[in-house]
Structure 1
Amino acid sequence: MPRARRANPSGKKGRGSRAGTRADSEASDDEAASDILSHCSSASETVSLAEDGNGSELLDYQSQQEQREDKLKEDVDNLTDKSIKTRQAALTSLRLSLSSHILADVLTERRVTLMDALERCLKKGKEEEQSLAASVLSLLCIQLGSGPEGEEVFHCLKPILISILTDSSTGSSARQSCATSLGLCCYIAAADAEDLISSLCCLEGLITSYYSDNGAKHTALHGLLCCAIQSWALLLTMCPASRIQKVLESHLPRLPGMLSSENVNLRIAAGESLALLYELGRDLEEDFFYEDTDALCVTLKALATDSNKYRAKTDRRKQRSIFRDVLHYIESSECQEETIKFGLEVMYVDSWVRRRTYSSFKEVLGSGVRYHLQYNEVLRDIFSLGAPLVLDAAAIKANKISRVEKHMFNSAAFKARTKARNRVRDKRADVL
């Protein structure tokens, strides 16, 4: 489980030295008295200015929020327009707005209208429109959460997502978005076990088809398989022990076959899922054992040290980093801890279950994931962060580094780094 730590915005001042001359003491006393008189004389003025500042900031925020809500209503109305470009523009705007801001109240009010519009886009739209609609559906569930509203949206649109996902004539990007949306929406808003199992079986069917023909027919569908594996792994994190046991028996022997795929993202998705399966198996049994672990570790070690030149440098670097973590966990049962900072808080992701969960939300929210971790109650509940922090302006200002300070720090670091490198590069330097 990730642990949240709240930074202390206040600092303790050190105690000064008692040594000094009498003149210095009298001068400091005079300065202190002067400061007190100055503070007392301007106290009321300072308070009134602070209140005026907070009031104007509050009015600005309310004004901006109203503008966002008006824009959202306009975008929802445009989803029923006859023009394809207008509908796609509205979906793109909704995706940006919902990933960057919390608009749960206005979404709850217009839930039915938006749900009907997304249904039409998914059923009648072409590939790009279907892909955008599925992404907006994921964001809608992140905003509404696991309450009755979120359950209603997912229960109504789940059959359409499955229909598009299993239709081989549909465009690949639309199927990928539907695979991601099916997994995330089910994770958030599944009403009962039946919704979970049916979604899991749908995603599992795509993975099993890869096993059946050794991936020969799936070269063009690697992106879809990656999304299906990641959503399938996300849903496994909330499955009962009986289901996990079946998955371990059926997938542990065959999932390593994907590690030889020519697609780096598919190899990584398979490797992370293997680490997740080992973690789930060890949660069921302390002495969990898989007989082919030694052979698997040999394969993982080769991927963790891969230096083949025919692969892109960025792909090799990404692959080595991931598979070092996977190999380390399978050999030692220790997961590399990841630190996520947002606002004044820090979250530690120290298990493959939480790593998969965070990655799934990050994939959908993009750069807005930290904002949602700060203020979205749905995500804060999932990651056990508690209620959103309410901080006053003084606390925020005390923890914020000014641009000048940041520039000075970067300049000093740059100069120090340059000097160190020059000493090494200088041919006249002594070699010890």
Structure 2
Amino acid sequence: RPGSQKSAVHGHVQPFSDEDASIETLSHCSSFSDTTSVADEGGEASEDTAQEDFQYKLKGFIDSTVDKSAKTRQGALDGLKTAMATRILYEFISERRMTITDSIERCLKKGKGEEQRAAASLACLLCIQLGSGIESEEVFKTLKPIFKNILADGSANIQARQAVATSLGLCTLVAEDDILDVHATMECFENLFTRSYARVDGTCPLISPQTSQLHTNALLSWALLLTICTASQLKDILRKHLPKLPRLLESEDVNMRIAAGETIALLFELARDMDSEFEFDNWEELCDKLNALATDCNKHRAKTDKRKQRSVFRDVLKAVEEGDFQPENIRFGTERMTIDSWVRKRTYDAFREFVGSGMNYHLQGNEFIRDVFELGPPMLVDSATMKAMKISRFERHLHNSAAFKARTKARSKFRDKRVDVGEF
């Protein structure tokens, strides 16, 4: 397999530090492509050398993901995660995607908590780098059954299950080629977060903080996949889940309360997109509950939790009462993007969780992420980068031309409000 040869780097591999990452991100050699070509005019050998050194380091990480030492494997996974979060590495990764997938599979199956967590995150970053198409579908087909097994296994490491709950959601958004499989994955998440519902008498089930975090992650991934559901699926979900979701607002866990509030706001937005006259039977009762959380003065709750909660629930209340969203501008390079809906916010937050401080960089140069947010082709900075991106874009087109996406159709439904999606 390409990239599977052993490099000269053995033993313990130091992951990139934050300082390395920021230097790499800002440097010239971290242009939008990992190609080693130099600009036709005035190209410098030092750029070429830096690029070779960087690739050598990455090959060392890939080799070290199969090391006998768990500490070395962990360092290698973290190193690859940092590199993929802070640079566009399509060419390099595309050639080695099956090797990297094999390593992720092995670490998920045989590793312990932290290693499994790192492997699950790396799977997501791999899909983000490859974008929607045959390549990421192949990666996901290998990893999806393992993800689902870990998620459903009550005896599995809780950290691994938490990480998988998040990664499975985003990998499905990027790489699932069947909208019915999207729905099946959503049911896996429902099986988890519904266990946090308050009982009919208002009492909450006894759940550990770690399990509550798992349920919260499952809810957020479920909400992410709502953004690509078909109209008929959404109608079923609104009927089945919207009356029960407010029970999660009773949770003792502030993060669960917030995730539930934002998911309710998202569902109201999607419902009104389909039917501007949408009405919810328990609307007044729900607004009272949201208002109580927006003005929460509970003495037994931590001040920081209350402050965070009040801010979110003021926005959620406006969304449910008035259909309002507080827009936020994101600046990156010379461009600007507006987060102007709950759909866009959930999607942006999901990607940012994996690429972190590299989000602005991916917004500039990652074609897939730019497509998701309708930003058009990357605004490129020099002729070498332009040349490289043209090559990779053409190659990607050849790879992906056969893969016509059900989810792309579903996503476009919410982008174009002129589409008639029928009555409730």
What is the TM-score with the length of structure 2 in the denominator? Answer: 0.77
Name the SS of the counterpart of 2:273 in structure 1.
helix
Residues 375, 61 of structure 1: alpha-carbon distance in 2 compared, 3 angstrom cutoff: farther
Deviations 1:293-316 (A, max 9, x none): 111111111111123343222222
Residues 69, 195 of structure 1: alpha-carbon distance in 2 compared, 3 angstrom cutoff: farther
Q: Shift of the alpha carbon at 1:59?
A: 4.3
Aligned partners of 1:281 and 1:288 also within 8 Å: yes
Cα separation, 1, equivalents of 2:102 and 2:298: 50
Aligned partners of 2:198 and 2:248 also within 8 Å: no
**Equivalent of 2:126 in 130, 140, 160:** 140
**Equivalent of 1:230 in 209, 220, 234:** 220
**Structure 2 residue 185 is the aligned partner of structure 1 residue 195:** no
**Equivalent of 1:269 in 248, 256, 259:** 259
Cα separation, 2, equivalents of 1:62 and 1:297: 60
**Equivalent of 2:317 in 314, 320, 327:** 327
- The aligned counterpart of 1:210 is 196
Aligned partners of 2:198 and 2:251 also within 8 Å: no
Cα separation, 1, equivalents of 2:139 and 2:52: 25
Q: Shift of the alpha carbon at 1:62?
A: 3.6
**Equivalent of 1:340 in 311, 321, 330:** 330
Deviations 1:276-302 (A, max 9, x none): 110111112110000111111111111
Deviations 1:13-44 (A, max 9, x none): xxxxxxxxxxxxxxxxxxxxxxxxxxxxxxxx
Name the SS of the counterpart of 2:197 in structure 1.
helix
**Equivalent of 1:119 in 93, 105, 108:** 105
- The aligned counterpart of 2:69 is 83
Aligned partners of 2:198 and 2:250 also within 8 Å: no
Cα separation, 1, equivalents of 2:40 and 2:246: 58
Cα separation, 2, equivalents of 1:57 and 1:371: 23
Cα separation, 2, equivalents of 1:186 and 1:60: 40
Aligned partners of 2:120 and 2:167 also within 8 Å: yes
Deviations 1:229-282 (A, max 9, x none): 110000011011111111111111111111111111110000000001101111
Cα separation, 2, equivalents of 1:118 and 1:204: 26
Runs (5+) with no aligned partner, structure 2: 1-38, 384-424
Aligned partners of 1:155 and 1:191 also within 8 Å: no
Q: Shift of the alpha carbon at 1:322?
A: 0.8
Aligned partners of 1:69 and 1:103 also within 8 Å: no
**Equivalent of 2:159 in 148, 164, 173:** 173
Deviations 1:205-232 (A, max 9, x none): 1122333864334554111111101100
Cα separation, 2, equivalents of 1:274 and 1:68: 45
Q: Shift of the alpha carbon at 1:170?
A: 1.4
Deviations 1:159-179 (A, max 9, x none): 000100111111221111101
Q: Looking at CA atoms only, which structure, 1 or 2, has the larger radius of gyration?
A: 1
**Equivalent of 2:235 in 238, 242, 245:** 245
Deviations 1:43-67 (A, max 9, x none): xxxxxxxxxx996675444433332
Runs (5+) with no aligned partner, structure 1: 1-52, 394-432
**More helix by percentage:** 1
Residues 319, 62 of structure 1: alpha-carbon distance in 2 compared, 3 angstrom cutoff: farther
Cα separation, 1, equivalents of 2:208 and 2:69: 34
Aligned partners of 1:276 and 1:353 also within 8 Å: yes
**Structure 2 residue 350 is the aligned partner of structure 1 residue 360:** yes
Q: Shift of the alpha carbon at 1:136?
A: 0.4
Percent of aligned pairs sharing the same letter: 51
Name the SS of the counterpart of 1:110 in structure 2.
helix
Cα separation, 2, equivalents of 1:212 and 1:156: 36
Name the SS of the counterpart of 2:297 in structure 1.
coil
Could you tell me which amino acid in structure 2 is paired with residue 335 of structure 1? Answer: F
- The aligned counterpart of 2:168 is 182
What is the TM-score with the length of structure 1 in the denominator? Answer: 0.76
Cα separation, 2, equivalents of 1:169 and 1:339: 43
Could you tell me which amino acid in structure 1 is paired with residue 225 of structure 2? Answer: L
Aligned partners of 1:145 and 1:378 also within 8 Å: yes
Cα separation, 2, equivalents of 1:59 and 1:284: 56
Residues 210, 117 of structure 1: alpha-carbon distance in 2 compared, 3 angstrom cutoff: same
- The aligned counterpart of 1:260 is 250
Could you tell me which amino acid in structure 1 is paired with residue 239 of structure 2? Answer: E
Aligned partners of 1:233 and 1:273 also within 8 Å: yes
